[in-house]
Amino acid sequence: MSKSWFLRTCYKAGHAVALLSILFVAAAAWPADSTLVIESTAIEKKLREQFFTDKGRFWINNADACNQSWLESPKVTASAGRLRIGVFFSGRVGASVGGQCMGGADAFNVTASGKPFFRDGRLGVEDIRIDSISKEIYRPLLQPVFGSMVPKALDINLKETVVALMAGRTAPYEVQINELIATEVTADADRVNVKLQFDLRVR
């Protein structure tokens, strides 16, 4: 028996939380088809909670008042197959002279992106790159920052997540997923869509 349903997932405190409505039949098995939709606003919320924790800032360097650099105002979108993260960079390099900072300061927008993937039961982001930066001199500083940050914006073990979600709704039955396959992963219209097929058994 084939069943299809719509699954919408968001993040809270680094964990996947979902709204799921399924009709279960005890001791029955069926190949299930579903679409997982992750809104960009949910990914943005996770980024803010995990990284931008100091009054909305993520500090790259905070050596002293005259030598600082940080990111703020993250905005997550999805288009053309990529998850995109835009931030505002601010930085200053100088020395304190007579109680005042002497040196240069910069502030500009930066956009980085990554390509969502599904592999070995996990949904993640790879191929991280900076797409837009007005001052190339800062690229070597910011590339590793985004290289670490962007993959953590979308990192889900789908098989474990689906089993955990279903288990709470099917007690006292046991939920078993023998195989989970993503037939398509897309990023567009400010959302990541994953078409899934899996062999589900309730016993």
Same domain, 107 and 142: yes
Same domain, 78 and 142: yes
CA–chain centroid gap for 90, Å, is 23
- At 177 the pLDDT is 78
pLDDT: is 106 or 11 the higher one?
106
Same domain, 92 and 69: yes
d(C-alpha 68, C-alpha 53), whole Å: 16
d(C-alpha 84, C-alpha 44), whole Å: 10
Same domain, 139 and 108: yes
Backbone phi and psi for residue 21, each to the nearest 5 degrees, phi listed first: -130, 115
Query: Domain for residue 21, yes or no?
Result: yes
Query: Domain for residue 196, yes or no?
Result: yes
Please tell me the total count of domains within the chain.
2
d(C-alpha 202, C-alpha 35), whole Å: 20
Same domain, 103 and 163: no
Query: What is the average pLDDT across 128-153?
Result: 95
Query: Domain for residue 54, yes or no?
Result: yes
- At 188 the pLDDT is 96
- At 99 the pLDDT is 78
Query: Domain for residue 140, yes or no?
Result: yes
Same domain, 7 and 65: no
pLDDT: is 29 or 105 the higher one?
105
Mean pLDDT of the chain: 81
Same domain, 145 and 80: yes
Same domain, 25 and 81: no
Range of the domain at 74: 40-116+126-153
Same domain, 173 and 142: no
Query: Domain for residue 121, yes or no?
Result: no
Same domain, 22 and 60: no
Taking every pair of Cα atoms in the chain, the longest distance, rounded to a whole number of angstroms, is 78
Query: Domain for residue 77, yes or no?
Result: yes
Query: Domain for residue 82, yes or no?
Result: yes
Same domain, 60 and 97: yes
pLDDT at 7 over 70: no
The CA angle 94-50-180, to the nearest 5 degrees, is 140
Task: Cite the DSSP H helix spans in 30-171.
Answer: 40-50, 139-153, 158-170
Beta carbons within 8 Å of 171's beta carbon, 6+ residues apart: none
pLDDT at 151 over 90: yes
- At 114 the pLDDT is 97
Distance between first and last Cα of the chain: 16
Same domain, 174 and 197: yes
Query: What is the average pLDDT across 137-159?
Result: 93
